[in-house]
Amino acid sequence: MLKQVVRAGIGSRIAFPPVLFIFIALCFTPAGAHSAEDFYGSLKQKLVQEGFSHQEVANAFQRVPPPMFRLVSQTMKIREGQVNYDHFLAPSEIETAREFIADHRDCFRRAEAAYGVEPEIIAAIFLVETHFGAYTGKTPTLAIFSTFAIMNVKANRDKVWKLLSPRDRKKWSRQAFDTKLIGRSGWAYRELSALLELKNTHGIQPGSLKGSVMGAIGWPQFLPSSLVKFGADGKGDGRIDLFTAEDAIFSTANYLRGHGWCEAKFASDREAVIWDYNHSKAYVRVVLGIAERIRGDAVRN
């Protein structure tokens, strides 16, 4: 979809022909309200203003689907309690992790030599995040970040609010709901910018990626900003593909090293590093527990 290029500032003395006024008026009538161009126009303009070329932005948004309001509403559902990860501690799961390490022994050896991170903790993360790439998500990454990014507009939040169940609307309250989505808008814009950067830094087409409903991609479920900063080439082919074991292993090792894993002397230090990866106490406990069981340090169930 083409970017809107006709703009006139306050006090402009440009004389537009009548046909152009008709064109501009049609662009903003309710009849065109469902086009992705109407929803994403200001977002694309902001990306250009902050340094991306018109062509980069036009190419990225060429096939982006309309905003995913219903999916955003599903991420706002009130959930009782925390996600339970304990099933990953089952002996069969631990054995699967050990087999994965054995199958990629050479890659893990190279990654540990380069980054100082042991295989067990990386395998534990892969097991919990995507079961070693078995389920990486099918949500178009560009579309979900773009949708979250336009949640700074009240009309868009209104659409999501109406899609919530009465129970969830009551539990959120409109003020808390708006505050949450406005915060997510800023976060999503930063991730969207990182996603577009991947074309230049890693040769990755932003529109080609699919992942979780929150925009995480690949075996380790990295956000685009983490991929930009910590993506590493484990295959040695000059590309970084988090949907392959080698690049996922190297990138995760690089991430953990960058967040202080190698300097973590105490259990609380290691917990803090995994917390950076996923802000869930249950997640932290289970990931570290898996790593211990893989090493055989803990009593098996």
User: Is residue 131 domain-resident?
Assistant: yes
In a shared domain, residues 104 and 116 = yes
Domain extent for 239: 86-136+232-295
The 10s digit of each residue's pLDDT in 30-64 is: 333 445 447 999 999 999 999 999 999 999 998 88
User: Is residue 211 domain-resident?
Assistant: no
Are 147 and 190 in contact, with CB atoms under 8 Å apart?
A: no
Specify the CATH number for the domain of residue 269.
1.10.530.10
Structural domains in the chain (count)? 2
In a shared domain, residues 287 and 173 = no
Question: For residue 5, what are its two tokens?
Answer: 């290029």
**Which run of H or of E encompasses 210?**
strand 210-211
For 2, half-sphere exposure in the C-beta direction (CA atoms, 13 angstrom radius) is: 4
The 10s digit of each residue's pLDDT in 197-251 is: 998 888 888 889 999 999 999 999 999 999 999 999 999 999 999 999 999 999 9
The 10s digit of each residue's pLDDT in 180-198 is: 999 999 999 999 999 999 9
pTM recorded for the entire structure = 0.83
Write the CA distances from 73 to 78, 97, 151, 154, 156, integer angstroms. 10, 35, 11, 14, 11
Write the CA distances from 238 to 26, 203, 206, 208, 250, integer angstroms. 47, 10, 18, 18, 13
User: Is residue 3 domain-resident?
Assistant: no
Are 57 and 44 in contact, with CB atoms under 8 Å apart?
A: yes
User: Is residue 72 domain-resident?
Assistant: no
In a shared domain, residues 39 and 144 = yes
Q: How does the average pLDDT of the chain come out, rounded?
A: 87
For 149, half-sphere exposure in the C-beta direction (CA atoms, 13 angstrom radius) is: 24
In a shared domain, residues 284 and 265 = yes
Q: How far apart, in whole angstroms, are the C-alpha atoms of residue 279 and residue 259?
A: 14
CA angle 116, 121, 124 (to 5 degrees): 155
Q: How far apart, in whole angstroms, are the C-alpha atoms of residue 240 and residue 232?
A: 6
Count of other CB atoms within 10 angstroms of residue 290: 25
The fraction of the chain above a pLDDT of 70, given in percent, is 84
Q: How far apart, in whole angstroms, are the C-alpha atoms of residue 111 and residue 250?
A: 6
In a shared domain, residues 269 and 124 = yes
Q: How far apart, in whole angstroms, are the C-alpha atoms of residue 135 and residue 93?
A: 15
